[in-house]
Amino acid sequence: MSVSAEPEIAPIETIDAMLAAGPNAPIEDPYALYARARRETPVLTRSEAGSSSYLVTRYDDVRLALRDHERFSNASNGDRGIAIVIGRTIVGMDGAEHLRHRALITPAVAPRALRGDFPAMVQGIAEELVDRFVGEGRADLVREFAFLYPIRVFVEPLGLPPSDIEQFHAWSIDLTRVAHDPGRGLAASAAIRAYLQPIIAAKRAAPGDDIISTLVTSEVEDDEQGGAAHLSDEQIANFICLLIMAGAETTYHLLGSALYALLSHPEALDEVCAHPDRIPLAIDETLRWESPVQIVTREVRENVELSGVTLERGRDVVLAIGSANRDESRFPEPDRFDLHRFDACAGGDAAAEHIAFGFGRHYCAGSRLALLEAETALRTLLARLPDLRFDPDAARAKMAGWAFRSPDALPVRFG
């Protein structure tokens, strides 16, 4: 198995250069640029191809836009960007349409609603993957665990053959590259749809107890015809693409970043090894410190002012979640990974502070599933791999990316 090779990390000196590099550009550190933007141009106006858009970098502004679904619409995600390859999904919907489709999605990504003993299934997958390399004393935790684990978690509930896991995950990564490499993204989209077509047809003929069977038998209100209608094959394929990208792909980034954070801060690693009940603290701080999804987009529905800049109706807005979660006005010493930053939050729940899962009506429907997966993975790895540390004989792991961030390798040794 191999993870697709990435280009070498290149120096980026301006926000414009970072945006022009594309969402999958392997940028090592965007945070110094974001800090400067928050100080000098918190709402950056960009002109390109005859139209203008905005980059919003301050916490208060980003949170306001996420909360205000009336003036900041999801329409920008409905007909361009990632919609080019995954089609129309909930991330491009607003209002009543969004609520109807969210009602379909939420049960599918709620751990208690998935068939069988879902937490036990997740634990079993984690144990099985660790079994493959635990006797070696060394591993690349990205390639041998973080890359495979989240997609494995989705395979059984979806009812897909386990033998196709790696291919499906490779396709999902290619989908995220559509803005920078349209041909690659479109080819992956076509391959996924061709793969799913006979599976969806078989589930329609003989539904089981998996997510795809639930989707083929579900009904959604039809605005045009009135009454209820079944989801089309295309809608189901779109939804599965979204599940893989928003679920497996982002959890892969979260888990890799959490492992990197702990390995880079040995005192925090020692503490969570001694006190596994503090693993949720590490996950919450990782979500703030290295948000897996760093940007989301919205469309301005009416003129609105943010930080002294008037955003014009009809323009796109890029909300820099990664910058907001490092805003010094909200988080003291924001570049420091602090295991106990969110201790004051009841039960270690930092959702009211960081905005890695969004905010408001469009808050991530699969957030609880992602947290369950990440906590299970870290508990298993730390219990099974004593004396975990970076491999001193391998190249040092680095964080990279700006739309999606995580390490592309984590070479480690253990007892």
CATH number at residue 200: 1.10.630.10
- Domain assignment present for residue 3? The answer is no
Per-residue pLDDT reduced to its tens digit, 206-220: 988 788 888 888 776
- pLDDT of 2: 39
Mean pLDDT of 214-238: 72
Per-residue pLDDT reduced to its tens digit, 48-69: 666 678 999 999 999 999 989 8
**276, pLDDT greater than 60:** yes
- Domain assignment present for residue 204? The answer is yes
Q: How confident is the model at residue 112 (pLDDT cuts 50, 70, 90)?
A: low
Could you list the residue range(s) of the whole structural domain that residue 98 is in?
19-413
- pLDDT of 11: 52
- Domain assignment present for residue 264? The answer is yes
- pLDDT of 8: 44
More reliable by pLDDT, 74 or 265: 265
Phi, psi at 270, each rounded to 5° = -60, -40
- Domain assignment present for residue 7? The answer is no
- Domain assignment present for residue 11? The answer is no
- Domain assignment present for residue 243? The answer is yes
- 211 vs 53: CA distance, rounded Å: 38
**Cβ of 43: how many Cβ atoms within 10 Å?**
19
Q: How many domains is the chain built from?
A: 1
Give the closest residue to 102 by CA, choosing from 221, 277, 21. Answer: 221
- 77 vs 83: CA distance, rounded Å: 6
- Domain assignment present for residue 54? The answer is yes
Residues in contact with 283: Cβ distance below 8 Å, sequence separation at least 6, in sequence order: 254, 258, 371, 374, 375, 378
**409, pLDDT greater than 90:** yes
- Domain assignment present for residue 5? The answer is no
